[in-house]
Amino acid sequence: MTNSSLTTITAKPVPEETQTCWSCGTMRAVHFCESCGKVQPPAPVDYFTFFGLSRKLNLDIAALDKDFYELSRKLHPDLNARAGSQEQEWSLQQSSLLNDAHRTLKDPIKRTQYLLKLEGVELEEQSKTATEQARSTGQVKKQIVPPDLLEEVFDLNIQLEELRIQKKIGEDDPALIEEIGRQKLELEEKQESLLHELEFRWKMWDGMIQREQNGQPVSEEERKQERDKMVDVLNRRNYIRNLVRDVGEALGN
């Protein structure tokens, strides 16, 4: 520990996955030893592997939660507070990995994004941060308007601009507000339906992974197609989510 207000930890290379428990040496150990219960050094694994899952997207959340709580009971620093400093360090690393993995996998969008990242996809930045950043630096944000939304978005943006102008001069047009509110509802419905579309893409992806697991070769072309379709759904969903947020802000809620 070097500094008190913000401590730093040394970045140590993560040890290779061990085959035996470092303490009792008997068991094949993953996160903790089945035999003596000791926390093991964290292995450099992705979140799916951490939970012993294959890279499928349709997840049994109840089972994931159950594993999460069971592993928490072994890995949490509170339960390793009397161990040696090295074990405490591993417990902290393992426990944060467990929490990060659980948090990412239990959320449908985060889970999909994470899988795509593992598959080497760089997702388009649609976040509010990117918007703010673009605004403040004057850069044009990289953002693709989904073609089927072009016309609608164009109209909506004109109406939003009108609303902002009216607000500035202290007027308000109840009909305009109602119209924008109606469109917001529509967008929210669309956002919801895109989640169903995403679930359908999961099914396709999982089927492909299953075929692969069954020993049938999957072409890189097919893999790429499935990825691209998911990216497309995510992009459209993000776009609509941001739109809903902008409309909400313009309406003042």
Partner 1 sequence: MSTDRIVGIDLGTTNSLVAFMQGESPVVIPGDDGSNLVPSVVALDQDNRPFVGNAARNSLIATPERAVYSIKRLMGRGVDDIQEELKFFPFRLAEDLQAGEVLRIRLGERTFTPPEISALILRQLKRNAERFFGAQVTKAVITVPAYFNDAQRQATKDAGRIAGLEVLRLVNEPTAASLAYGLDKKQNGIVAVYDLGGGTFDISILKLHDGIFEVIATNGDTHLGGDDIDNLLITIALDDTLGDLGLDLRRNAGAGQAIRKSVIEAKIALSSQSSVNIDVELPCGKRYLREITREQFEQLIQPIIDRTVGPCKQALKDAGLKPEQIDEVVLVGGSTRIPRVRALVKELFRREPHTDLNPDEVVALGAAVQANILGGGSEATENMLLLDVTPLSLGIEVAGGVTDKIILRNSTIPASATQFYTTQIDGQANVAIHVLQGERELAKDCRSLARFDLKGIPPMAAGMARIEVKFLIDANGILHVSAREQRSGKEAEIQVQPSYGLTDEQVEGMILDSFDSAEEDFRQRQVIEARNEATTILAALDKGKKSPAWGHLTTDEKKKIAKMEKALIAVQAEDDYQGIRKAIDALNQGTTRLAELMMDSAVSVALKGKTMDEADMGEGPTAPHPMAKAEFE
> Which positions lie near partner 1, rule CB under 8 A?
1-11, 13, 69, 72-73, 76-79, 81-82, 92-93, 95-97, 99-100, 102-103, 128-129, 132-133, 135-137
The Cα 151–Cα 138 span in angstroms is 25
CB of 232 to partner 1, least distance (A): 25
CB of 82 to partner 1, least distance (A): 6
**Total Cβ atoms within 10 A of residue 202:** 21
Q: Which parts of 135-224 are beta strand (E)? A: none
CB of 138 to partner 1, least distance (A): 9
**Residues linked to residue 249 through DSSP beta bridges, in sequence order:** none
CB of 133 to partner 1, least distance (A): 5
CB-nearer residue toward partner 1: 7 or 214:
7
CB-nearer residue toward partner 1: 40 or 93:
93
The Cα 112–Cα 108 span in angstroms is 6
CB-nearer residue toward partner 1: 80 or 183:
80
CB-nearer residue toward partner 1: 7 or 219:
7
The Cα 39–Cα 37 span in angstroms is 7
Residue 42: exposed, middle, or buried by beta-carbon count in 10 A (0-12, 13-18, 19+)?
buried
